[in-house]
Amino acid sequence: MLGEGIVRGLAETARNFLGSFVSKERLTTVQFPEERLPQAEAARDFPFLVYDGEDWQAGMRCVACQICEKECPPKCIFIEKSKDKKPDALGRAQFYPARFDIDVSVCMSCQICVEVCPFEAIKMDTAFELSTDDRFGGLLWDRQKLALSDAHYHAIHPTDAAHTDELLAAEKAKAEARTKAAVAKASPAPMPQPPAPAAANEP
Amino acid sequence: MSSMTETTSAANDERSRKLTAGISEGQLLEVSMGPHHPSTHGVFRMDVVLDGERVVKLKPVVGYLHRNHEKIGENNSYLASMPYTDRLDYLCSLTNNWAYALAVETLAGIDVPERAQYLRVITAELTRLQNHSSVIGFLVQDMGASGTPLMYAFREREKILDLFESLTGSRMMCNYMRFGGCRIDLPAGWLDRAKKVVAGFPQFLDEYENLLGTNEILMARTQGIGALSRELAINAGVTGPLLRASGVNYDIRKVDKYGIYDRFDFKVPLGDNGDVYDRYMIRILEMRESIKILDQAMCDIPPGPIMDPKAKIRGFRPKAGEAYGRIEAPKGELGFYLISDGSGNPYRYRVRPPSFVNLTVLEDMCIGNYIADTIAILGSIDIVLGEVDR
């Protein structure tokens, strides 16, 4: 019969429409600004620089090796290496970024910088709603704006952060074993160890 | 390829001449459809010459979304091109990733562990589900069924995108696959959620077939419209659902058996007439086959590593040589051709996009039809301009 298909389609629409009053399955709309769904744990938006401890400058893990700057697909990272050195979490003297800028208007949230970083220093944040009326300065984030604590990292990506801590602890143990061996070798005149900064403590 | 297009183009010119015979120049209307036209799915322009409402000539104009994709690929490291491939066909980032990873793996001779192969099949088939469900939604939306069918399709697509987000961190720009495996393993509980979504999918397809499958208006608008002959489809290099709707049994998952597709039991649905209706139905049937593959893959997925230990993230330099990797993307044959000179970035990086090649037969299908059918025909090709223009 002509029109049967149309009637069948309309019946389907009616079933869905009426179903939306009783079934959560059929009412899928979320009224966004008022109602918010929880973000997925793996969610990523823009990168941030992890620091240990309280002071973002002393605890910054980044050693300005510039691998992420080189590997960044849209080339949105700009790093200037420091002239002097500061001790890192393992107590070794390392360079630090005198300047670390990310142009978030160019960044495409691909996570390549996180993957290539050998120091677990850069991670992906989950913050969104970052619009600003200043399209140049407001979207060029400097190292102070990018620096976020390790506690924040643990809060947004708990599984990843636990894994990162394991890696860092393993590296620390290895480094300590190495220094011990070096000390044992040169026992008559032990190497002077740089003092471990308070900020290097694991939170 | 170029001579082939010339032949079809000459044949089309002949058809245009026949259609316009005896009509004075002033009676023909030239319309520039697009680039900003909602039916063109992006920035795509068609120069259409009309006799009344009938199309007598149609020239596709592409390039409005050109962004130097291939040149950027030649100036970036191999790894840095991976997130750019997401942005080719932005509906199916995971299959783009796979095609590129396959090309680089062939080039560098990297193996992929068992579990990663399964992850690739699962994510690629989920991509096919969400691409096909949105394209049938868009197709009927283009034909005037605004709202309901598209929203039903998007409701299902959203469930799959949620799965992608919890796995890869991003709904659409997944950037998930790596040379020699996948980036991260499945989070806890993901497989159960995915199984639930896939188990609910046939119900959506039944619902959709109830909604539109026998709808007289849809049938009148699509049956016998824009028929593409087997010969032309093969000659023009058309691939994917468009080719199979014309009755050619060619699916790279069956032909090449890349990855582990030889382990799964699935059929390749074929059309008879190659018209818009066949292309619409082929996509629904393909989704049913994808569900079969997903059921098998999610049942059999073994534990184990997800990355080849030989694969390097930093300082990746494949030896000099060339490789072509191709897969059956939801839109057709997606291929990446790479030439390496032994340095950290490819010497030549070439994409063989299915949408672009499928678009070459647009004029053949449109000449003689009404202007309103042009939109249905374009919608049934399933183009994404990110891939057409690169």
Tens of pLDDT along B174-213?
889 888 888 888 888 898 999 999 998 998 888 888 888 7
DSSP H helical ranges for A56-197: 56-59, 67-71, 112-116, 143-146, 150-156, 158-185
pLDDT exceeds 50 at position B321: yes
What residues contact residue B292 under an 8 Å CB cut-off, 6+ apart?
B264, B265, B266
Let me know whether B266 and B356 are in one domain. yes
Residue finishing a domain among B61, B79, B111? B61
Using an 8 Å CB-CB cutoff, list chain B residues near A44: 169-170
Let me know whether B126 and B239 are in one domain. yes
| Partner residues linked to A86 by β-bridges | A94
Classify the C-alpha dihedral A148-A153-A155-A156 as positive or negative: positive
Task: Note the pLDDT of residue A156.
Answer: 87
Contact, B177 vs B94, CB < 8 A? yes
Using DSSP, state whether A79 is helix, strand or coil.
Answer: strand
Per DSSP bridges, beta strands A140-141 and B348-352 are unpaired
Task: Note the pLDDT of residue A202.
Answer: 42
Residue B177 and residue B97: Cα distance in Å, rounded? 6
- At B108-126, the pLDDT tens digits run 888 888 899 999 999 999 9
Let me know whether B335 and B244 are in one domain. yes
Residue B10 belongs to domain spanning: 2-61
User: What total of structural domains would you count in chain B?
Assistant: 2
Burial of B343 (0-12, 13-18, 19+ CB in 10 A): exposed
Let me know whether B53 and B170 are in one domain. no
pLDDT exceeds 60 at position B352: yes
pLDDT exceeds 90 at position B217: no
Tokens representing B344 are 């950290």
Amino acid at B80: A
What residues contact residue B2 under an 8 Å CB cut-off, 6+ apart?
none
pLDDT exceeds 90 at position B127: yes
Q: How many residues are given for chain A?
A: 203
In order along chain A (203 residues), what is the average pLDDT of each group of 10 residues? 81 86 81 87 88 82 86 89 79 82 89 87 88 85 86 86 84 82 68 49 41
Using an 8 Å CB-CB cutoff, list chain A residues near B167: 42
- In this prediction, residues B33-49 reach a mean pLDDT of 81
Let me know whether B34 and B85 are in one domain. no
Closest partner residue to B216 among A3, A110, A124, by Cβ? A3
- At B6-36, the pLDDT tens digits run 446 777 877 777 777 777 777 888 888 878 7
Angle at which helix B276-300 crosses helix B114-142, to 10 degrees, equals 150
Let me know whether B275 and B380 are in one domain. yes
Using an 8 Å CB-CB cutoff, list chain B residues near A111: 83, 169, 175
Residue finishing a domain among B43, B61, B79? B61
Chain A residues with at least one Cβ partner in B under 8 Å: 2-6, 8-9, 11-13, 16, 28, 40-44, 67, 71-73, 108-112, 115-116, 118, 124, 159
Let me know whether B245 and B344 are in one domain. yes
Strand runs labelled E in chain B: 29-33, 45-51, 54-61, 177-178, 181-182, 321-329, 332-340, 348-352
Complete domains list, chain A, with CATH? 52-124+135-181 (3.30.70.20)
Task: Note the pLDDT of residue B1.
Answer: 37
pLDDT exceeds 80 at position B249: yes
- In this prediction, residues B56-62 reach a mean pLDDT of 86
DSSP state, residue B358: H
Amino acid at B232: L
Task: Note the pLDDT of residue B123.
Answer: 92
DSSP state, residue B116: H
Let me know whether B54 and B141 are in one domain. no
- The pLDDT mean for chain B works out to 86
B144/A106: higher pLDDT: A106
A118/B38: higher pLDDT: A118
Let me know whether B80 and B220 are in one domain. yes
Let me know whether B205 and B91 are in one domain. yes
Contact, B129 vs B160, CB < 8 A? yes
Contact B79 A41 (CB under 8 A): no
- In this prediction, residues B359-380 reach a mean pLDDT of 88
If you search the block for the tokens 């073994």, which residue do you land on?
B302
Let me know whether B347 and B222 are in one domain. yes
Residue B157's domain is classified under what CATH number? 1.10.645.10
Contact A6 B215 (CB under 8 A): yes
Mutate to test the interface with B, among A70, A112, A163 (most CBs of B within 10 A): A112
- At B270-312, the pLDDT tens digits run 988 888 999 988 999 999 999 999 999 988 888 888 888 777 7
Task: Note the pLDDT of residue B96.
Answer: 92
Let me know whether B242 and B121 are in one domain. yes
> Where does the pLDDT of residue B227 fall: very low under 50, low under 70, confident under 90, or very high at 90 and above?
confident
Task: Note the pLDDT of residue B8.
Answer: 62
Contact B173 A2 (CB under 8 A): no
DSSP state, residue A191: P
